[in-house]
Amino acid sequence: MNLYEKTIHKNSIYNGAIIDLEVHDVVLPDGQTSKRELVYHNGAVAVCAITPNNEVILVKQFRKPAEKVMLEIPAGKLELNEIREEAAKRELEEETGYIAENLELITEMYGSPGFSNEKISIYLAKDLKKGEMNLDDDEFIELEFYHLKDINKLLQSQELEDAKTIIALQHLLLNYNHYN
Amino acid sequence: MNLYEKTIHKNSIYNGAIIDLEVHDVVLPDGQTSKRELVYHNGAVAVCAITPNNEVILVKQFRKPAEKVMLEIPAGKLELNEIREEAAKRELEEETGYIAENLELITEMYGSPGFSNEKISIYLAKDLKKGEMNLDDDEFIELEFYHLKDINKLLQSQELEDAKTIIALQHLLLNYNHYN
């Protein structure tokens, strides 16, 4: 079966700083039409960074949509035309003050594929050097450091609720299991 | 530091079938104000279901936001006032024709915590029985079955791009590693 849905009409609802909203009329595989509500986002990057002390750097920040403080790996939006790996290095240094010279791609993921095209590239960073923190004006965060041997316990605690962070830490457990 | 951001004004932009969009003026921890673009969603459930043949059931469907067919564990939106575990059983049977009497919660996750409150509860289902498929009118999917011994290869292939699916399959590898 050809699962493709062709857009036959676009209605632009909102153009914002972070997201745009459109409603499309689409033709379904059986020829009927339906509506799709679509949130467009420029994409984001995230970094699972391991310090020379074998600690993972996590960021605590208030997330307005869920109205709670969440614990996440450092991450941020792509700037216009920015290369993903460069964005990842920039966000890591801005949020944590650490510089990563080499990044390894863990995976790319869509967090909400049903309504949003936001794609997050998740990187692993080792061999960190000291750089300079530089937060955005509207960014307020606290850093936490978790030793690799405590990652399994952190995952089991259900304290983590952010998809990219769960993926990155499960990846560490699967690939660096001498720390378990 | 108190990271909380208090909303001082809400602007409702859109009320849709799946999502609502609001823009809030918030007070930041330093007393300055900023805007937050917020996509509200009723929440969703997903099920990593293992057949009596030790196969994981995956669903191929076209995702309009990314304009591509994606491979995902069965999932769906909560209906109004629906209990999450009941929704998970309903979605599993509707999409795959399998009934799960007992579900085990793997984790709950926010896929896009920066702009959306969509929370997905991911369940593990074993001891499946045959029921009846019953797709929504605008739902077109194909089922694929992957044996547990092939899950590691599937994860490594980078073919999976859906966060909930990556989390569920990593969880299987971490907890059922006699299949690796």
The residue of A138, A139, A165 whose CB has the most chain B CBs within 10 angstroms, and thus the best one to mutate to test that interface, is A138
- A5 → closest Cβ in B64, B107, B171: B64
Task: Give the A:B interface size as CB pairs under 8 Å.
Answer: 204
Q: Model confidence at A137, in pLDDT bands (50, 70, 90)?
A: confident
Closest CA to B167 of A95, A160, A69, A178: A160
- A110·B70 Cβ contact <8 A: yes
The per-residue DSSP string of B101-115 comes to: S-EEEEEEEES-TTT
Cβ–Cβ of A38/B109 closer than 8 Å? no
Q: How far is B163 from chain A (nearest CA, A)?
A: 5
> Dihedral angle at the C-alpha atoms of A59, A38, A80, A128, nearest 10 degrees?
30
Supply the DSSP symbol for A97. S
Report the pLDDT averaged over residues A11-34. Answer: 97
Nearest to A34 among B1, B16, B138 (CB): B138
Q: What is the pLDDT of residue B177?
A: 61
Catalytic residue among A79, A86, A139, A142: A142
The verdict on ipTM greater than 0.90 is yes
CA B141 to chain centre: 16
Q: Report pLDDT for A179.
A: 53
Residue with token string 């029985």: B129
Mutation site for B-interface testing, chosen from A116, A151, A154, A165 by largest number of B Cβ within 10 Å = A116
B18 and A115 within 8 Å at the Cβ level: the answer is yes
Q: Is the Cα torsion angle B28, B33, B39, B40 positive or negative in sign?
A: positive
**Is B19–A37 a contact, with Cβ atoms under 8 angstroms apart?**
yes
Coil, strand or helix: which one is A163? helix
Is the separation of the CB atoms in B159 and B39 below 8 Å? no
pLDDT given for residue B179 in this prediction: 53
- Report the pLDDT value the prediction gives residue A158, as an integer from 0 to 100: 87
The model's confidence at residue A178, banded by pLDDT at 50, 70 and 90, is low
Quick check: helix, strand or coil at residue B179? helix
β-strands A141-147, A55-63 pairing: antiparallel
> pLDDT category, B178, cuts 50, 70, 90?
low
Q: What is the pLDDT of residues B81-99, one digit of tens each?
A: 999 999 999 999 999 999 9
Tokens, residue B9? 């004004």
The H or E element spanning position B94 is helix B84-96
Query: Is A35 in contact with B21 (Cβ distance < 8 A)?
Result: no
pLDDT at A180 > cutoff 80: no
Asked whether residue B150 carries a pLDDT value surpassing 70, the answer given is: yes
Mean pLDDT of chain A: 95
Confirm whether A142 is a catalytic residue: yes
Taking all residues of chain B, what is their mean pLDDT, rounded to a whole number? 95
Task: Return the DSSP state at B78.
Answer: P
Task: Show the beta-strand stretches assigned E in A42-160.
Answer: 44-49, 55-63, 68-72, 75-77, 98-100, 103-110, 119-125, 128-130, 141-147
pLDDT in tens, A39-78: 999 999 999 999 999 999 999 999 999 999 999 999 999 9
Residue A92 φ/ψ, nearest 5 degrees: -60, -45
Element (H, E) at B124: strand B119-125
| pTM more than 0.95 | yes
Q: How confident is the model at residue B180 (pLDDT cuts 50, 70, 90)?
A: very low
Closest to A37 (Cβ–Cβ): which among B18, B70, B108?
B18
